[in-house]
Amino acid sequence: MADSDVAVWAASGAMALTGRPDGPPLVAPAGLVNAAASAAGSVATMTARFGTAVRLDGPALLGERAALAGMVRQGCVSVGGAARFERACDGWVVLNLPRPDDIAALPALLEADVDPQDWCTVSALIASRTAVDLVDRGRLLGVAIARPDEQRSCGVPERALVRGPVRSANARPLVIDFTSLWAGPLAGSILASAGARVIKIEGRNRPDGARLGPAPFFDLMNGGKEMLAVDFHNRADVRLLQRLIGAADLVIEASRPRAMEQIGIQPAVVVADTSTSWLSITAHGRVNEPDRVGFGDDAAVAGGVWVEDLTGPLFVADAVADPLTGLVAASLGAELLAAERAALVETPLSQVAAWAGRAEVNAPVHAAPDGDWHVIAPEGVVSVVSPRARVPARRAAPFDAHGPALRDEFA
């Protein structure tokens, strides 16, 4: 980040989420401001190609969930509280345990009969293992764990895997959104705002976990989408999904590749045989590490988005790989909707983080008499503001609200 971007970082809300809870917010990492602003600019350009240009404050999106949930910076523990830095015997790892099943898997991860609530013992066991071994076991067990700086930037945050046949652009394209939580839903919501018809697919027995969080955040991510719940083990529902995919202009999906394969849907075949494009959001890549689990906080660290002070490594903002990837995916999705040929494109969370970079800048941060923080920027003294969020344009529809109508339409 250039010195002139210090003010943007301070005003984004993300800076207030970066640093130790008992210390000042940190100016580094610098590259995130330019990356988020660049991705938001691409969103506006690409959405205008098929519909209404969607203009967003990219840097402000990095703290949007925290603003709605009342989250604050926690240093070596993620803003959301599920991820933490731990020292292995040969370096640091990030262990992310957002689901009850992840916590239950700790004894298997550490190969020890340990109480997952006894974190002192858990930390001691982690310190006795190598970081590579822990990541390898996490991959096998489906636990999100990563080493800092695993992913090196290749210069672009996406990769085209398959090219399909020529396609015709539709006045109101159909997008099937299989994603949950943050990155994918953000991309889908942006395409809906641009004018696409977006149908959100949820498991009948496994709704989007974001439904359990702040309602305004779920509304921001999913307002304007049609809601369909399916049973992925039911043949009739799988046939319905196949018909939806066949009619779609674009599919957005954020599961491990084997999840689709288990129900007989192969994205490469879909793209090669139809005019449907497919946008795959993974943790670390559907080719190199297809079965590896990852979320916004650990994937960000794997991509190099973290900071360090004298006491150790710290998280940057809130699950920052998620909103960054959501912006990148929205731009890619809009480009695919306007493209002449269908394609299968992936954009992994850790690769987006690596693209965003970890450039650092030093600027003094001061405490004001009223308890607020200020940073010295070329523009002068700038206040470090709290995270802020957009106001949802509309409420998200209830679970399976459009199920009956969609089943009739695509029968």
Reading the chain (411 residues) residue by residue, the pLDDT tens digits are: 454 678 889 999 999 999 999 999 998 776 788 899 999 999 999 999 999 999 999 999 999 999 999 999 999 999 999 999 999 999 999 999 999 999 999 999 999 999 999 999 999 999 999 999 999 999 999 999 999 999 887 778 889 899 998 888 888 999 999 999 999 999 999 999 999 999 999 999 999 999 999 999 999 999 999 999 999 999 999 999 999 999 999 999 999 899 999 999 999 999 999 889 999 999 999 988 999 999 999 999 999 999 998 889 999 999 999 999 999 999 999 999 999 999 999 999 999 999 987 556 667 777 666 678 998 877 788 899 999 999 999 999 999 999 999 999 998
DSSP codes joined into one string, 289-341? STT----HHHHHHHTT--EEETTEEE--TTTTHHHHHHHHHHHHHHHHHH-SE
CA atoms of 142 and 260, how far apart (whole Å):
17
Residue 330 burial class via C-beta count within 10 angstroms: exposed 0-12, middle 13-18, buried 19 and up = buried
Could you give the domains of the chain? 3-72+152-361+388-409 (3.40.50.10540), 83-146 (no CATH)
DSSP codes joined into one string, 140-178? HHT-EEE-TT-SPP-SSS-EEEEEEEE----SS-EEEE-
Query: What are the residues whose beta carbons fall under 8 Å from the beta carbon of 266, sequence distance 6 or more?
Result: 260
CA atoms of 276 and 272, how far apart (whole Å):
9
Q: Which residue has the tokens 């977006």?
A: 198
Among 54, 36, 295, 304, smallest CA distance to 194 is for 54
The pLDDT, as a whole number, for residue 226 is 98
The pLDDT, as a whole number, for residue 2 is 52
- DSSP at 84: E
Query: What are the residues whose beta carbons fall under 8 Å from the beta carbon of 208, sequence distance 6 or more?
Result: 180, 181, 185, 200, 202, 218, 222
The pLDDT, as a whole number, for residue 358 is 57
The pLDDT, as a whole number, for residue 360 is 60
By DSSP bridging, strand 365-367 and strand 341-346 are unpaired
Query: What is the signed CA dihedral for 229, 234, 239, 245, rounded to 10 degrees?
Result: 40
Among 86, 72, 36, 24, smallest CA distance to 362 is for 24
CA atoms of 300 and 144, how far apart (whole Å):
12
The pLDDT, as a whole number, for residue 368 is 67
Helices (H) then strands (E): counts for the chain: 17, 15
